[in-house]
């Protein structure tokens, strides 16, 4: 699977990403390039000192560790994480040189957040059904046995869940049928259902998101899954989810079942 897609490259031209990258690179550029460094950092030699180099190196290590831990493999989530930490480091370094520069830079970052929010990753149809505890039991566990459900257990505070949302919506738009449905359940609101299906909801959980495939009201497959007593990591890309749940064959099977005449 490619790290960068054409759609992601086109999205990079959105003003949000352009300004975000400029703000992230603001301190190193102004600190190293003349005449900016001579005007803004008098007394310096247009080179990073030891403390500045140490902070920027620490930020790079944190970004690599953070993205590796959350399983980020796409360009845009990686850039979002890198820019966030780079702006925090830039703010601290500007304050270190001159609190007025830090105040100005902080105001620019706040203005960017308010005026240029991140555009939605997916703007197409979204047939995903959002379940509560009652509808989950009524529709998924005790409902029509002929209906297959792919349910995402998610939390709004989880970066991995946020990153999965566009791909899951696209899968729902492509594969959903009357008897093949896609749904989401917020584990923050309904933790008892998460525990019932062995999904950890702690802040350090590696089980968010979790996808469960229900057939006949019972779990037929899940990702991520435990293998040999250990949780096997799973990257929630569109291609991986299609392969893991065999959605092409499942969709074909459900279409054929739908065409069968109902028995009286």
Q: Which domains does the chain have, with CATH numbers?
A: 6-115 (no CATH), 129-259 (3.40.30.10)
Q: Specify the higher pLDDT residue, 226 or 37.
A: 37
* Mean pLDDT computed over every residue of the chain: 87
| Nearest-angstrom CA–CA distance, 133 and 127 | 19
Average pLDDT, stretch 14-34? 93
Q: For the full predicted model, state whether its pTM sits above 0.85.
A: no
Specify the pLDDT at position 3.
57
Q: Specify the higher pLDDT residue, 173 or 10.
A: 173
Specify the pLDDT at position 2.
45
Specify the pLDDT at position 1.
42
Average pLDDT, stretch 55-80? 78
Specify the pLDDT at position 119.
76
Q: Which among 57-71, 72-86, 89-103 has the top mean pLDDT?
A: 89-103
Residue 264 above 70 pLDDT?
Answer: no
Question: pLDDT band at 166, cuts 50/70/90?
Answer: confident
β-pair type (226-227, 148-154): unpaired
């Amino acid at each position: 699977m490619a790290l960068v897609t054409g759609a992601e490259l086109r999205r990079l031209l959105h003003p949000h990403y352009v300004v975000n990258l400029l703000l992230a690179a603001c301190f190193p550029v102004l600190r190293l390039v003349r005449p900016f460094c001579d005007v803004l950092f008098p007394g310096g030699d247009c080179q990073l000192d030891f403390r500045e180099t140490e902070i920027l190196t620490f930020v790079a290590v944190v970004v690599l560790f953070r993205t590796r831990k959350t399983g980020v493999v796409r360009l845009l989530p990686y850039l979002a994480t890198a820019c966030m930490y780079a702006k925090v480091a830039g703010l601290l370094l500007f304050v270190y040189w001159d609190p007025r520069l830090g105040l100005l830079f902080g105001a620019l970052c706040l203005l960017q957040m308010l005026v240029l929010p991140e555009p939605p990753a997916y703007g197409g149809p979204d047939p995903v059904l959002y379940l509560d505890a009652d509808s989950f039991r009524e529709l998924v566990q005790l409902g029509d046995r002929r209906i297959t459900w792919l349910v995402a257990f998610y939390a709004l505070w989880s970066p991995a869940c946020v990153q999965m949302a566009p791909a899951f919506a696209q899968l729902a738009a492509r594969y959903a049928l009357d008897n093949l449905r896609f749904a989401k359940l917020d584990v923050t609101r309904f933790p008892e259902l998460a525990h019932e299906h062995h999904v950890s909801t702690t802040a350090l959980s590696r089980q968010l998101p979790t996808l469960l495939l229900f057939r006949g009201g019972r779990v037929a497959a899940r990702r991520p899954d435990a293998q040999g007593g250990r949780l096997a990591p799973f990257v929630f890309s569109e291609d991986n989810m299609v392969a893991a749940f065999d959605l092409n064959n499942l969709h074909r099977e459900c279409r054929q079942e739908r065409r069968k005449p109902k028995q009286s």
